[in-house]
Amino acid sequence: MNRDDTIQKYFQKAGELTVSKKFYRDHITQLFLWMIKADAVKDDITSQILSLRRKGKMQIIAKQNGVIAGIEELSELLAKHTNLVFIPIIMDGARVEKEALVVQISGESTQLLAYERTILNILGRMSGIATETDVLVSSIKNMTNAPYLAAIRKTPLMMIDKKAVAVGGGLTHRLNLADSILIKDNHLGLLQKELGLKTSEKAAAEAVIRCMQSNAVYFEIEVDSLSQANTLIHAFIKENTKLKQSKMMAILLDNFQPVDAKKFVNSLKKLPVYNSLLIEGSGEINKTNLADWAATGVDIVSLGALTHSPKVFNFSMAY
């Protein structure tokens, strides 16, 4: 398996984020039911007072350029939980220009009005995330050995946020805590206290040993210093000699400076175990310093900004 395939295997879970998968279908259903309950769509007093009776049609129109996401989800949800007829004009992943017609929806006027905000919330958030991801991916795609961009778990709407990142060309990373092993600084801190270890480096080494002696074939560990990172490598190499088949370890460089990350990556490339290692950069990475990180040689750059603070895509709804 080449390096790109390995990254896709462990960092891209987009194949699980489709309505054909019960896990994802249940997730978006629970989210949708919570949203419509919170918005009291069954008790829209405005429409009730106006005594609207006729059927109608509305169009969702893009008011900016960008990438569309959320079509698959809304097609499933509206078909299962409303009487509305949802007709996509643009499909997920398509780039649109301002004033493009994206969706037509028809049905009873009261339902159109009641579900309007929930529909726009889902479509707007997912398309906003997909658009931001696409912009950042495009900004570095022509760089030599450009890294993949990935989301993290700062995802208020969980799986649909991750799906939107994938639609925009990014990696989902872990979907939840059960997905794969990721040992972070708090894990190491608690392990250090529990075992009475003198340094975080010793805790990091112990974490590597436990993972290498487990049934896991892949694990990731976060480090916040070169000292910790080098300790991981030494422990990994030592444990690797005991195995018939090498395991795969990812090292998450948290809040490193790009210059230090580059030196570390260059040192790893000289090691025989390099092909058993993946390197991820994270922490305070954004559009202003992304190019610097892309030049470090890390395999993946993960950005919380993709999902914790995206700009909602601007749509208008016309009746």
Q: Check residue 37 and give its pLDDT.
A: 94
Count of CB atoms situated within 10 Å of the CB of 217: 11
Architecture of the domain whose range is 3-137+312-318 = Alpha-Beta Complex (3.90)
Q: Which H helix or E strand runs over 311? A: none
Q: Check residue 41 and give its pLDDT.
A: 87
DSSP one-letter string for 38-73: HTTGGG-HHHHHHT--SEEEEEEEESS-EE---HHH
Q: Check residue 17 and give its pLDDT.
A: 97
Cα–Cα distance between 292 and 256 in angstroms, integer?
12
Q: Which CATH superfamily is domain 184-303 in?
A: Aldolase class I (3.20.20.70)
Residue 264 and residue 253 in contact, taking contact as beta carbons nearer than 8 Å: yes
Q: Check residue 50 and give its pLDDT.
A: 83
State CA 135 to chain mean position distance.
Answer: 15
Provide the residue ranges of all domains of the chain, joining segments of one domain with +: 3-137+312-318, 184-303
> Is the overall model pTM greater than 0.75, yes or no?
yes
Of 126, 180, 172, 176, the residue nearest 149 (C-alpha): 172
The ranges of the chain with pLDDT < 50 are none
Q: Check residue 305 and give its pLDDT.
A: 87
Beta bridge partners of 97: none
